[in-house]
Structure 1
């Protein structure tokens, strides 16, 4: 039977995954493997808890109350809670982490508990009024100094609970000192373990395959919505999570900007378009990322020069990043953008990435909207096992013309390893 075009596209993307590690690169026990949460080993989970408790001890905290709320895309979210629990309930979850003794997780629906026990590393799981249960346990244990940890994955800020929940805590825990522990907890997650890096490498292969499906699905007359749906199929077939998938077509003759659609639409793609994408797929809250730019028909001379400049900066970063390099040194990679007479409209050359954006943020021209975020990292050094995105976003000053090239990887002991093999810095053309 002849394979349809759609079937061939999906098969082509799936072939890029052949030979890669299993979804998590891990070995979960029977009955625990799922598509929402990577099943990290008990040793990995114990190591995380030990590092958290070590920091709690330095700060004199008797307990942490970790709050999880809301996901992004088809991910359960609740990054910080998952980090210690290997699970997160629907909508919201609370996790009480004492300085010594067993962890207790609170969720709302009793019927979810058997499934939670199959997946989570936490044994004591209770249902009901989750926040009320946490307050009662804190009072019962007599804790007087408690750190609050928010959901995580909120760039450049460290919120804990919604105002109503925070007010209820204060009223129910009179005499208990509550302090925001989110910033330092977020920082503990930045140096990745071997198991986490295995998940990120698998995420890179998924993102590569997804982008190949997106490219192969593109033709004049197609829509970004139909292309996104082809990506969705590959994601579903491989149990992938993703927070978003930007895909957009922009006329090179009459451009309206240089940013793809967050919500792809049914507008037909015209010849003479530059396609821009921002795809990030993976497992749980561990995502790789690609920022792609390619063309429907040959690029104009100006768009070709934009692409060549962005590709050079991207490839220079991949070849040149190394541990110990500071934000000030990363700024040197901006030189080709300035030399070409282009601008960097936003974003940074090097940004922390795994479960959405995090530290560090390095490499921004003064024209970049993101330049203020880089100031705290000018003299901060890159460290081995930090996972990053590297991205060059370039535009023509005063005109709505621009594009980007970017990918993801990790700082190693000697340099940089990319998670991606997709040829994002190769100029690719779809013939209309």
Structure 2
């Protein structure tokens, strides 16, 4: 029985991506890479499944078709989504590392120089050690971040999907803001946000929508507990759909009435100014650290009085749970000298908190253009008044 295809990108798009990754492989003298991160697998062949906990890997050789090694139970998802890629299935109860080693040998790679994602979150140290042992005739290298660094520069097709994702994000944020009223709970607001994300086409949540009310907004990464909104509260909001597994995150903060702590107004103004300064500094050829410094010069005015992560921006695009943050070296930090390139996309997460008292988060997902950068969101910066 045939499975309905779910193609999002063309075969030519995948070939372009593979060519770019193979160029990076040649620079590191690699004959093949074995990828376990579902975002990297999706980027190179289109395969995706909600089952990201069972073993799967993609092997990209310098020449020839890539191939996946995966559980036979997942063949329906492979047939629905993978493009120009072969499959090697292992049976129920089979040892996946042995299946991977056998597949590499069958493809003439048993003695090749092979890159593994040693620092990846989807390859445990124990399994990494087992693969190295099973490939005793190969030369193993660390290819962590190789694909992520290529992914940092988006194609026109990818940017089109991210713009669609941002439209959904903006709609979800408007829905959440519309749900804020005296007595509304963080669950009520989250429901409004999540409903809009689902209606907009999200395939899941790489990070579940975040809502924090009042003093809880002054602590990072709170889950919803039924806390209710009162006059004077700040309400922290953050979300993104996973639209074809691409993201365009957005943070907003609303104040119900006049904030009870007057410092909220100053913190919000600093956050807005910092994002605007980073956008002004961002253009091709500028080092990532210069963009971070532009934001830091603003934030440093109040730095001693706030809780802040000092992480001015991160690469964003494809993501699978538990995060939409793209790894690799292309991050906006004060110690990163890597120059920006047109087509790179970043999220500026400007979250400034007075610990346990209030939090003001606002952000932009931006794309580097040939002459500067543009924000994807149509919503304004600043504190929302409700």
TM over 0.5: yes
Q: Conserved in 2, the CA contact under 8 Å of 1:65 and 1:96?
A: yes
Aligned to 1:408, the other structure's residue is in SS state strand
Output the CA distance in 2 between the equivalents of 1:260 and 1:164. Answer: 32
CA–CA separation in structure 1 for the residues paired with 2:289 and 2:87: 47
Partner in structure 2 of residue 298 of structure 1? 258
**2:131 paired with 1:131:** no
1:404 matched to 2:361? yes
Q: State the alpha-carbon separation in 2 of the partners of residues 182 and 53 from structure 1.
A: 14
Provide the aligned length of Structure 1 versus Structure 2. 364
In 1, the alpha carbon distance for the partners of 2:368 and 2:45 equals 27
In structure 2, what is the equivalent of residue 52 of structure 1? 21
Question: How far has the Cα of 1:175 moved from its partner?
Answer: 1.8
Question: Could you say if the C-alpha distance between residues 297 and 328 of structure 1 is closer, same or farther in structure 2, counting changes exceeding 3 Å?
Answer: same
Q: Which residue of 2 aligns with 1:94?
A: 57
Partner residue of 2:338 out of 367, 380, 385: 380
* Contact map agreement 1:32 1:39 (CA 8 A) in 2: no
Q: Is the 8 A contact 1:106 1:126 kept in 2?
A: yes
5+ residue gaps, structure 2 = none
Query: How far does residue 96 in structure 1 lie from its aligned partner after superposition?
Result: 2.0
1:85 aligns with 2:45: yes
Q: Are the aligned partners of 1:410 and 1:417 in contact in 2 as well (CA < 8 Å)?
A: yes
1:18 maps to what in 2?
none
- TM-score, normalising length: structure 1: 0.77
Residue equivalent to 2:5: 32
Partner of 1:11: none
* Offset, 1:49: 1.3
Q: Which of 190, 200, 207 is the aligned partner of 2:162?
A: 200
Match of 1:312 in 2: 273
Contact in 1 for aligned 2:206/2:242 (Cα 8 Å): no
RMSD of the alignment, in Å? 2.6
Normalised TM-score (structure 2): 0.85
Query: Structure 2 residue aligned with 1:394, among 352, 355, 363?
Result: 352
| SS class of match (2:330) | strand
Secondary structure of the residue aligned to 2:219 is: coil
Instruction: Report the CA distance shift for 1:298/1:81 in structure 2 as closer, same or farther (over 3 A).
Output: same
Q: Is the 8 A contact 2:347 2:366 kept in 1?
A: yes
Runs of at least 5 residues in structure 1 that lack an aligned partner in the other structure: 1-29, 69-77, 152-156, 364-373
**1:222-261 alignment, distance < 5 Å:** 222-240=184-202, 241-244=204-207, 245-250=209-214, 255=215, 258-259=218-219, 261=221
1:343 CA displacement: 4.4
User: CA–CA distance in 1 between the matches of 2:283 and 2:341?
Assistant: 8
8 Å CA contact 1:200–1:287 kept in 2: the answer is yes
Residues 248, 386 of structure 1: CA spacing in aligned structure 2 closer, same or farther, 3 A cutoff? same
